[in-house]
């Protein structure tokens, strides 16, 4: 049975989603991407995480349509990119995303990165999209405590979710606690330590850490499943990306439970190490990366 988490706006979402950044190459949008997402759907994924910047919303939408499964059984997340922030731009960005996805609404619309000068105008446009039924829930991504405090000063509709880089080498404990205290669920991006887009060798990722690989051996599962179980058992959303069928399938299935000591041993691997961008410095480079159409 699909695990779900209740959101503070009363809706619920599947706790395990399918990440779609850089299936094949970054911004690839073709049959391979569609077939990969379709394979994931056939295995049971109903929560799909994409973004305008990933340049693959068309393939994601095609896979969902071709699956023959009713749209309402899916939970689709997409995100507004920095170059599209601001009131009118955000309305336009959503229009473009919905056209590419070939959908009337998304389940969750996120601000992809904080851009404090634009946050109020962007969020108010998102509130309008929510009232119009085009974004069922609203959320954040990469928001720091200060960004959340800023948003809470004017938000009429509260964010339900914050998607953060989070894995055993970057546990972001204080920020996770802060988000949860504000009623948001935390979703983990690059939960396994990032996909091929980062150029990071597997040997440097937490999936190769001896604490993780020993637990994988103990439970007879993959290193990835150990890390994802650590998130799931603590009430976090995970959105692993996998092209291999073995990973795709394993990431959905958990016939074991980590002990409290094991959860703590994984917490203790934290070294505040980011594989991706830092919200303190990302805006400038994000603004030089346009959304492909
Ligand atoms: N909000 C943001 O700013 C942001 C930023 C980055 C990513 N994201 C989202 O987060 C999603 C996931 O992050 P990500 O794609 O960077 O990487 P990830 O999910 O941490 O890792 C993907 C890599 O791990 C491998 N893998 C999958 N399952 C495994 C398992 N059970 N054991 C061992 N290895 C496994 C995959 O291999 P194969 O593909 O070969 O199976 C792939 O190389 C993205 O796809 C995207 O949706 C959001």
User: For 213-245, how does the pLDDT look when each residue is reduced to its tens digit (9 = 90+)?
Assistant: 999 999 999 999 999 999 999 999 999 999 999
Q: Which pLDDT score is estimated for 1?
A: 57
Q: Which pLDDT score is estimated for 293?
A: 84
> 3-state DSSP call for residue 182?
coil
Query: 13 CA to middle of ligand 1, Å?
Result: 19
Query: 32 CA to middle of ligand 1, Å?
Result: 17
* Residue positions counted in the chain: 293
The ranges assigned to domains in the chain are: 14-201+234-254+272-286
- Taking the C-alpha atoms of residue 80 and residue 174, their distance in angstroms, rounded to an integer, is 26
- The answer to whether the CB of 241 is under 6 A from ligand 1 is yes
Within the chain, where are the H helices? 31-43, 57-67, 87-101, 119-131, 145-152, 173-181, 210-219, 223-232, 245-250, 260-267, 282-287
The number of angstroms, rounded, from the C-alpha of 98 to the middle of its chain's C-alpha atoms is 18
Task: Kindly give the number of the ligand 1 atom that is closest to the alpha carbon of 189.
Answer: 10
54 tagged catalytic: yes
Instruction: Encode 240-273: b = buried (16+ Cβ within 10 Å), e = exposed.
Output: bbbbeeebbebbbebeeebeeebeebbeebeeee
Task: Kindly give the number of the ligand 1 atom that is closest to the alpha carbon of 113.
Answer: 3
- The answer to whether the CB of 244 is under 6 A from ligand 1 is yes
Query: 124 CA to middle of ligand 1, Å?
Result: 31
> Superfamily for 14-201+234-254+272-286?
NADP-dependent oxidoreductase domain (3.20.20.100)
Give 94-101 contacts, CB < 8 A, sequence gap 24+.
94/125, 94/129, 94/134, 94/135, 96/52, 96/291, 96/293, 97/52, 97/57, 98/134, 100/57, 100/58, 100/61, 100/293, 101/50, 101/57, 101/58, 101/60, 101/61, 101/64, 101/76
- The answer to whether the CB of 194 is under 6 A from ligand 1 is yes
CA-nearest residue, atom 32 of ligand 1: 224
Residue whose tokens read 């959905």:
252
Instruction: Give the active site residue among 45, 54, 109, 115.
Output: 54
Give 179-183 contacts, CB < 8 A, sequence gap 24+.
179/148, 182/148, 182/152, 182/158, 183/8, 183/158
Instruction: Give the chain's largest Cα–Cα span.
Output: 53
> 3-state DSSP call for residue 179?
helix
Q: Which pLDDT score is estimated for 2?
A: 77
Instruction: Give me the residues of the chain with pLDDT under 70, please.
Output: 1
Q: Which two tokens stand for residue 170?
A: 């970057």
């Amino acid at each position: 049975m699909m695990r779900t988490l209740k959101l503070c706006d009363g809706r619920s979402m599947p706790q395990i989603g399918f990440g779609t950044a850089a299936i094949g190459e970054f911004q690839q949008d073709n049959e391979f991407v569609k077939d990969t997402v379709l394979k994931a759907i056939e295995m049971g994924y109903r929560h799909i995480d994409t973004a305008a910047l990933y340049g693959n919303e068309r393939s994601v939408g095609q896979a969902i349509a071709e699956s023959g499964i009713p749209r309402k059984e899916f939970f689709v997340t997409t995100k507004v990119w920095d170059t599209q922030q601001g009131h009118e731009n955000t309305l336009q960005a959503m229009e473009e995303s919905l056209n590419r996805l070939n959908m009337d609404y998304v389940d969750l619309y996120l601000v992809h990165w904080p851009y404090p000068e634009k946050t109020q105008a962007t969020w108010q446009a998102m509130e309008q999209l929510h009232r119009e039924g085009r974004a069922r829930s609203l959320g954040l991504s990469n928001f720091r405590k200060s960004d959340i405090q800023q948003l809470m000063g004017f938000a009429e509709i509260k964010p339900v979710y914050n998607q953060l880089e989070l894995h055993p080498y970057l546990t972001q404990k204080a920020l996770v606690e802060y988000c949860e205290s504000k009623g948001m669920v935390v979703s983990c991006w690059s939960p396994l330590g990032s996909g091929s887009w980062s150029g990071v060798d597997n040997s440097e990722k937490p999936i190769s850490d001896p604490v993780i690989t020993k637990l994988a051996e103990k439970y007879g599962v993959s290193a990835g499943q150990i890390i994802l179980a650590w998130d799931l058992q603590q009430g976090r959303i995970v959105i692993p990306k996998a092209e291999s069928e073995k990973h795709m399938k394993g990431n959905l299935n958990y016939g074991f439970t980590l002990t409290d000591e094991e959860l703590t041993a994984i917490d203790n691997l934290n070294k505040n190490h980011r594989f991706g961008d830092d919200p303190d410095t990302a805006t400038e480079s994000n603004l030089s990366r346009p959304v492909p159409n």
